[in-house]
Amino acid sequence: DVKVTQSSRYLVKRTGEKVFLECVQDMDHENMFWYRQDPGLGLRLIYFSYDVKMKEKGDIPEGYSVSREKKERFSLILESASTNQTSMYLCASSFLTGVSGNTIYFGEGSWLTVV
Amino acid sequence: AQSVTQLGSHVSVSEGALVLLRCNYSSSVPPYLFWYVQYPNQGLQLLLKYTTGATLVKGINGFEAEFKKSETSFHLTKPSAHMSDAAEYFCAVSRSSSNTGKLIFGQGTTLQVKP
């Protein structure tokens, strides 16, 4: 089975702190994603990576950065956490080629509260 | 630009009744369409997907969806609801045919199943 593992399920951080959310996948997927999930808004793409050291901004990249030094690991960084970044964060991965409509596999999510 | 609209943020059915969750999309390219389910405190799991070919798609747990190009719809149905179907359901469309990893999600529909 594909496994996407998010290291922290629940975090509470203070405003202004630097926050790292870590994600690891074990299926040798090229694509990795970070989404943010908020009630009534569905999932919104923060950042996307299709290869090591490659990244693309998604729909809501402001206040976030990412790092992909190894193929299996994709980190989301909140440089200076703010209360409006309190949310559920979902990591996901998939194979690169999209001809057949590749399935995205999701981690279980990280609930971040910024106080 | 692609977009997804799920009609109804909450749907309530009785156990054994028909489940119908509505999804309409807009896409400037032939769409790849997905339904995902999220159980409480978990990540998203793929229910089914439409890429090409047969417009009636069968998924896991007895769910199916029909792609109707003329109506730009991809509604999810299940003939008989079970209590275990209570969850949040997301419809999604691929942003492009070249890399279906980047999805646009609807706002989500919470399904309640009453005994």
What are the CA-CA distances from residue B71 to residues B22, B67, B92, B107 (Å)?
12, 9, 16, 19
Of A41, A42, A101, the CB nearest to B32: A101
Residue to substitute from A104, A108, A111, interface B, most B β-carbons within 10 A: A104
d(CA A101, CA B22): 21
Distance from CA of B2 to the nearest CA of A (A): 13
Find residue A4's DSSP bridge partners: A25
Distance from CA of B37 to the nearest CA of A (A): 11
User: Got the DSSP string for A72-95?
Assistant: TEEEEEESS--GGG-EEEEEEEE-
- The mean pLDDT value for B93-100 works out to 65
Burial of A74 (0-12, 13-18, 19+ CB in 10 A): buried
What does the pLDDT look like over A3-43, one tens digit per residue? Answer: 899 988 999 999 999 999 999 999 899 999 999 999 888 89
pLDDT of residue B3 exceeding 60, the answer is yes
Contact criterion met (CB < 8 Å) for B102 and A101: no
What does the pLDDT look like over A41-79, one tens digit per residue? Answer: 889 999 999 889 999 999 999 999 999 999 999 999 999
What does the pLDDT look like over B36-84, one tens digit per residue? Answer: 999 988 889 999 999 888 889 999 999 999 999 999 999 999 999 999 9
User: According to the model, what pLDDT value does residue B89 have?
Assistant: 97
User: According to the model, what pLDDT value does residue B51 have?
Assistant: 83
pLDDT of residue B101 exceeding 70, the answer is no
Residue to substitute from A1, A43, A103, interface B, most B β-carbons within 10 A: A43
Q: Which of A35, A29, A19 is nearest to A107 (CA)?
A: A35
Nearest CA in chain B to A2: B45
User: According to the model, what pLDDT value does residue B83 have?
Assistant: 96
Tokens of A27: 């299926």
Nearest CA in chain A to B10: A40
Residue B96: which pLDDT band, with cuts at 50, 70 and 90? Answer: low
Distance from CA of A86 to the nearest CA of B (A): 16
pLDDT of residue A98 exceeding 80, the answer is no
Residue A101: which pLDDT band, with cuts at 50, 70 and 90? Answer: low
